[in-house]
Amino acid sequence: MLILAGQGNPGPRYAGNRHNVGFMAVDAIARRWRFGPERSKFQSLVREGEIETPDGAVKALILKPQTYYNDSGSAVGAALKFYKLKPMDLVLFYDEIDLSPGRFRMKTGGGAAGNNGVRSVTAHIGADFRRARLGVGHPGHKDRVMGHVLSDFHKVDQTWVADLLNAVADAAPLLAAGEDEKYQGEVMRLAPAEKADPRKAPRGED
């Protein structure tokens, strides 16, 4: 079994924020693969389903912690403990300011790089989980980071955001099969994005 957890903040106020692109990604996967209805469990909203791979269907649980972004580790830890899973059975989707908008990178293990949500998950289950990082760009100065990630995507961003989310969902069989490098490559093939300095002035104004 695989747990696909998204990082985000609960409620309509935050729904369109860059910080919630992790929620958007796992929702896209749930829609594409027709997961079951959403319900509350593990201090989260969850959906159960299967992702087809060449070797058969892989059971997966979509997990959207409702504990707020920076405290998401408690929800993730509870789900892993309940299903007796290892950190490698978790894929955490989250916004990455050190990637330019639309870029996508997979990574296993490592530090939190200033991301308090990742730090929370690490504190509860250790660092050896899989990370799906969705680039949202950097506002250019550390003092503007919070305002950047807690602001909605601009209208001019909607096309690349939709393309990236669709690609993440369509390529999910590779993720379910454990082929993270191939998954990353397929997502970028389906939703190509320019490799650029993430600190380049973001599109639009916050």
In a 13 Å sphere around the CA of 47, the CA atoms on its Cβ side amount to: 21
The stretch 121-131 carries a mean pLDDT of 96
The 10 Å Cβ neighbour count of residue 10 is: 18
Q: Rounded CA gap, 153 and 204, in Å?
A: 9
| Average pLDDT of span 81-108 | 96
pLDDT value, residue 204: 46
Tally DSSP H helices, then E strands, for the chain: 7, 7
pLDDT value for 206: 43
Q: Is residue 173 within 8 Å of 53, Cβ to Cβ?
A: yes
Residues in the chain: 206
Q: What pLDDT is attached to residue 139? A: 83
Quote the pLDDT of residue 194: 84
Correct CATH for 2-190 of 3.40.50.1470, 1.20.200.10, 3.40.50.300, 3.40.1080.10: 3.40.50.1470
Flag whether the pTM goes above 0.85: yes
How far is 105 from 99, CA to CA, in rounded Å?
A: 8
Which residues belong to the active site?
Answer: 19
Q: Residue 46: pLDDT above 60?
A: yes
Contacts of residue 126, defined as CB under 8 A and 6 or more positions apart, other chains included, come to 87
List the beta bridge partners of residue 2.
Answer: 60
* CA dihedral for 111, 115, 117, 120, sign (positive or negative): positive
Contact 2, 176 (CB under 8 A): yes
Buried/exposed 117-128: b ≥16 CB within 10 Å, e otherwise: bbbbbbebbebe
